[in-house]
């Protein structure tokens, strides 16, 4: 596990959070109690979240450092959890590089021009720190407020980003995604490789700004078999994890409905793999 070999307080990790229960657990060290944190923002479960989000669209909320800071801190204040999760959305880096998309209430991310051909890849330029300056600002505000409580950076994994881009929005069966993956494996590989570069750049911004750990969230990868995952998804996820390995911060990987994939998700380069409610912890 690379987190066990991390450079500790002398490296990228924040000295104030290094010995926290969450960080110790990530390194598989003895902890005073089992650390608890939210995999994603507390969201609709908190009345204070609903109040602060009133009249503000999701993507706008993710681009306002004041709101990001407030929402990230809410579950820490209310529940005294052992780590904060940066408030964001998986499509934020795509929006930041100019992809025409929006998050429709009650629907989810909707992409105006889905990616179906090689020419469509032109939508995906490189992400620079200036594209997400609000992330750097919010991270600075948060680390100042959190003190010894670790802050977990957050990004969507290449497969899930690809599924939204190819389908044009949420999908139950991912027909277009699988058609591209099986029908044009080279275009699929190039798409995921491009998304891996964008995602890695997004996580690097967060680590540079003070994130103590980072999480790669693969909402829809449970739609694939282990063989498809290994062949068509794992190389891109590995590229993301490898790109941030030198920082020495723990890398978390989580997917939904991924019981059959947990071993492979660990092989992709994660230090911590999340199991959803379908998988008994033991």
What is the gyration radius of the CA atoms in the chain, in angstroms? 18
**How many CB atoms are located within 10 Å of the residue 86 CB?**
25
CA distance 72 to 84: 6
Residue with tokens 């660990």: 266
89 is catalytic: yes
Check 12, 27, 49, 53 and give the catalytic one.
53
Q: Which of 99, 100, 102, 45 is nearest to 74 (CA)?
A: 45
Check 44, 130, 172, 282 and give the catalytic one.
44
**How many CB atoms are located within 10 Å of the residue 65 CB?**
17
27 is catalytic: no
Return all residues near 3 (Cβ < 8 A) that are at least 6 apart: 26, 27, 248, 249, 250, 251, 271, 272
Check 18, 164, 229, 247 and give the catalytic one.
164
Three-class secondary structure of residue 233 per DSSP: coil
Check 18, 27, 82, 89 and give the catalytic one.
89
Check 40, 64, 116, 231 and give the catalytic one.
40
Return all residues near 90 (Cβ < 8 A) that are at least 6 apart: 109, 155, 156, 160, 161, 164, 217, 219
118 is catalytic: no
Residue with tokens 């995921």: 192
Q: Which residues are catalytic?
A: 40, 44, 53, 89, 164
């Amino acid at each position: 596990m690379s987190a066990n070999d991390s450079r500790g307080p002398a490296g990228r990790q924040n000295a104030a959070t290094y010995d926290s229960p969450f960080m110790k657990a990530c390194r598989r060290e003895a902890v005073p109690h089992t650390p608890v944190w939210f995999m994603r923002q507390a969201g609709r479960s908190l009345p204070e979240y609903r109040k602060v989000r009133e009249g503000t669209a999701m993507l706008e909320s993710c681009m306002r450092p004041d709101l990001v800071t407030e929402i990230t801190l809410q579950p820490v204040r209310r529940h005294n959890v052992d780590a904060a999760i940066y408030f964001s959305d998986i499509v934020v880096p795509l929006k930041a590089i100019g992809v025409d998309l929006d998050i429709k209430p009650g629907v989810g991310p909707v992409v105006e021009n889905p990616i179906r051909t090689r020419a469509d890849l032109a939508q995906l330029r490189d992400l620079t720190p200036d594209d997400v300056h609000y992330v750097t600002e919010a991270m600075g505000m948060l680390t100042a407020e959190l003190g010894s409580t670790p802050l977990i950076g957050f990004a969507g994994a290449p497969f899930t980003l690809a599924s939204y881009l190819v389908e044009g929005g949420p999908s139950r069966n991912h027909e277009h995604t699988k058609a591209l993956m099986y029908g044009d494996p080279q275009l699929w590989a190039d798409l995921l490789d491009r998304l891996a570069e964008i995602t890695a750049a997004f996580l690097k911004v967060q680590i540079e700004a003070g994130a103590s750990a980072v999480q790669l969230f693969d909402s829809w990868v449970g739609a694939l078999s282990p063989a498809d995952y290994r062949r068509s998804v794992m190389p891109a996820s590995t590229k993301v994890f490898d790109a941030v390995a030198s920082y020495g911060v723990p890398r978390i990987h989580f997917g939904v409905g991924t019981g059959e994939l947990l071993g492979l998700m660990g092989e992709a380069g994660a230090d911590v793999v999340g199991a959803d409610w379908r998988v008994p912890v033991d």
